[in-house]
Structure 1
Amino acid sequence: MQRFFIQKSTLLFLSLIVLAACGKGNQNQAYQQQAPELPTAKVQQGDASVSREYAASVEGVSNVEIRPQVTGYLSKIFVDEGDYVNAGQALFKIEDQIFREQMKSAQALLITAQANLSTAKIDLDRKKELLRNKMVSDIQVKEAEATYNAARGAVSQAVSSIESAKINLNFSTIKAPVSGFIGRFNYRLGSLMTPSNQQPITLLSDIHEVYTYFSMSETDFNNFQKKQAGSTIGEIIKNTPAVSLLLSGGDKYAQTGKIDAVEGQFNKTTGSITLRAKFPNPENILRSGNTGKVVLDQFYSNVVLLPIASTRTIQDKIFVFSIKGGKAAMLPVEVSGKAGDNFIISKGLKAGDEYIVTGFDRLQPGTPVVAQKKNAQQKKS
């Protein structure tokens, strides 16, 4: 009886060992089954175009201060603030009565001078005739010639006075020197206008083309120049591709522009340099004083590219997942720019490195993971 009990206990113990071994095997198998299969790819190297945005201000190609050339009271205003005017169009009128009187006075002086000239001419001719008959001396003839020349001078002076009066009379009507939009008026009817007024009457902005001014940091400008090392600024400007303009609301301006000037030196305070781009403005959408962003595309060759969708951003730092030793590894990377749907990687990865493409949203570093077989992917597709 005792021997039977011992044999039964031994069989029970062996059964428990077998069951434990089987359970452990099942756990290992289940553990392996839980490791997710995720698609992987290799880091590529290629050419890229990076769009950089710079805050910009807009000005018309010609912003003309409208100032009076003569002194007088502002008597008429022919346009309103914001109107579009054509070159030569009348804008303002300064009281011109005094200039009309000056014109009449100059014309009267001309008549008198012309009469004196005729008298002097008659006297000179008469004395020359008398000299031939030896009835007058040479000195008398020379005196008559001097009088005649003085009369001629008086006529010329009277003509000049008339021209001066005409100029002043014409200046009393202030006309647009260029076509463009009228700005705000600094003076109203009845204001005394003088050429020495501190403020112009208004500002006339020619905006058929506009200039956009934007500043570039020293680092960006150096990279901008590196693309054409050995070239002069003029050659760099000539070979720079067209730029775009984003309006203040974020909409893209329909016309493209061209960089046509670079400031001569950096601003010591801001450490930046100002560039100018010219944009056509056929529909007068842009006005002086507009703001926006100039978009400059810079091209890079043989750079490391990584899809943005295959990265994770944590507290302004960018990471990518890889598989090392059968487990997930989260690698920090440094980015120098965006090129379409890709990041340009400056540090952390090199061409040929393998990374997890998708499926890492809830993945933690150290989690077992298996690279998805490519032939399996092809079968599914």
Structure 2
Amino acid sequence: MNSETIIPKTIISKSIFNPISIMKKITLISIIALFVISCNDKNAAPPAAAAPLLPVLSITNSNAVTDVEYPAALQGAVDVEIRPQVSGNLEKIYVDEGAYVNKGQTLFKINERPFREQLNNALANLHAAEATYLNAQLEVDKLTPLVQNKVVSDYQLKTAKATQKIAFANIEQAKAMVASAKINLGYTNVTAPVSGYIGRLPKKQGSLVSATDIEPLTNLSDVHEVYAYFSLGETDFIKFKSLYNGTTLNDKIKKLPPVTLILADNSDYGTLGKIDMVDGQFDKNTGAITLRATFPNKNGTLRSGNTGKIKLGIQHDDAILIPQSATVEMQDKVFVFTVNKENKVTKTPISISGKSGTNYLIADGVKSGDQIVLSGIDKLQEGQLIQPEKSKKQIAQK
């Protein structure tokens, strides 16, 4: 459509004699002109959008510490089952479940009357054996001068001395029976072998207990120190050993840094622990080896049977770190937007080998000297032009 509109002469000539008609024609011409202008505007190309201004980070190598977590099971420094060593009725229970007891404190009392009678019987046998020995000694004393004066034969004296030895042996045997009876009598008084916390009490007063019972009287845990046991696979264990100096495994253990215990509620236990034991062999069923970390437990916060995680810090030198906020995940892959010399972005896949705080430790995909977009990446397109803004943000190191 042409923006220049030609008005027919016939219209002009006729309009001289009709003012109203002239006004109508002028209005019509204005409408046509506006329509032509609007058509021309639609055909014109829209102005190009300005390249967005986005912060860009130049990647540099730095030192980093990554955390690796392993499930752990906790045990007290001493966990013992309290079992009866003699059979009998449980006469008294002196403690309650969960109570703290001291070493040597009485926990249970088994009816001692049968064992008291056994001791009395053993004492009576001892006295009888002592009396027999005394008679044998008298016989030897009587025959000795008679043999010396050749009144009786030497054979009788030898027989008397043999009888004396048998009597002496019976005394020793009787003494052993007395000692055994005393031990059994002492077993009726069940005491705490260590200081610690009492577990459940499945047996009640009056129950018949025996040394062959499947279930113990209770469990006792000494938790002034707590052991956290965790396992490493063969590959992880080889990497673990290669990180620390030392000619032997014991040397490496001494140089290990402190470790953190993460409790079941994902909070950190307030005191650091120390790895002090590596099992002597791998478990053939799981292919893993067990390690032990020891944690002080002065306030008794931790108990046997707790679970948690051991967090190991691994040092990495000359590592490449990228903020997690500068990455985007798509179809199980992680990408960053790198910026080339023409300030155009490229979606680049990266391989992550670990995490350090809020940063990713990069194994492959980018290198030192590359530039990546820090934020505003959710609307970027492949090959899009941007205006880089040098970021003053520093990669946080642990």
Count, aligned residues: 352
Aligned twin of 2:380:
363
3-state SS of paired residue (1:151): helix
Equivalent of 2:365 in 325, 329, 348: 348
| Higher alpha-carbon deviation: 78-87 or 127-136 | 127-136
Could you report, residue by residue, the CA deviation over 1:133-188 in whole angstroms, capped at 9, with x for unpaired residues?
33222122222212222222222222111111101101111111122222122322
Q: What pairs with 1:33-44 in structure 2 (closer than 5 Å)?
A: 34-44=50-60
Aligned twin of 1:153:
169
**Runs of 4+ with deviation above 6 angstroms:** none
Q: Which residue identity does 1:189 align to in structure 2?
A: Q
Aligned twin of 2:143:
127
Q: 1-side partners of 2:128 and 2:283: how far apart?
A: 65
Aligned twin of 1:59:
75
Change (3 A) 1:117 1:374: closer
Could you report, residue by residue, the CA deviation over 1:329-362 in whole angstroms, capped at 9, with x for unpaired residues?
2222121111233211111101111122344454
3-state SS of paired residue (1:372): strand
Change (3 A) 1:372 1:255: closer
Q: Which residue identity does 1:307 align to in structure 2?
A: P
Give the conservation status (yes or no) of the 8 Å contact 2:87–2:211.
Answer: yes
Unaligned runs of 5+ in 2: 1-5, 7-36, 393-398
Aligned twin of 1:12:
none
| Higher alpha-carbon deviation: 178-187 or 218-227 | 218-227
Q: Which residue identity does 2:388 align to in structure 1?
A: A
Could you report, residue by residue, the CA deviation over 1:221-266 in whole angstroms, capped at 9, with x for unpaired residues?
3321231488443333232211110111122111211223334555
Give the conservation status (yes or no) of the 8 Å contact 1:84–1:180.
Answer: yes
Q: What pairs with 1:115-194 in structure 2 (closer than 5 Å)?
A: 115-194=131-210
| Higher alpha-carbon deviation: 365-374 or 84-93 | 365-374
3-state SS of paired residue (1:222): helix
Q: Which residue identity does 1:145 align to in structure 2?
A: K
Equivalent of 1:99 in 115, 130, 139: 115
Aligned twin of 1:379:
none
Q: 2-side partners of 1:111 and 1:273: how far apart?
A: 60
Equivalent of 1:301 in 308, 311, 317: 317
Pairwise CA RMSD of aligned residues? Answer: 2.8
Q: Which residue identity does 1:89 align to in structure 2?
A: Q
Q: 1:267 deviation in Å? A: 5.0
Q: 1:83 aligned to 2:99?
A: yes
Aligned twin of 2:65:
49
Give the conservation status (yes or no) of the 8 Å contact 1:81–1:182.
Answer: yes
Q: Which residue identity does 2:83 align to in structure 1?
A: R
Could you report, residue by residue, the CA deviation over 1:75-110 in whole angstroms, capped at 9, with x for unpaired residues?
211112212222211111221111111111122222
Aligned twin of 2:326:
310
Q: 2-side partners of 1:374 and 1:312: how far apart?
A: 19
Q: 1:258 aligned to 2:264?
A: no
Aligned twin of 2:348:
331
Aligned twin of 2:29:
none
Q: 1-side partners of 2:108 and 2:67: how far apart?
A: 47
Q: What pairs with 1:159-238 in structure 2 (closer than 5 Å)?
A: 159-228=175-244, 231-238=247-254
Give me the TM-score of the superposition, normalised by structure 2.
Answer: 0.80
Q: 1:271 deviation in Å? A: 5.0
3-state SS of paired residue (1:198): coil
Change (3 A) 1:270 1:144: closer
Identical columns (%)? 44
Could you report, residue by residue, the CA deviation over 1:1-39 in whole angstroms, capped at 9, with x for unpaired residues?
xxxx9xxxxxxxxxx9xx99xx98x946xx4xx223333
Q: Which residue identity does 1:363 align to in structure 2?
A: L
Q: 1:369 deviation in Å? A: 0.8
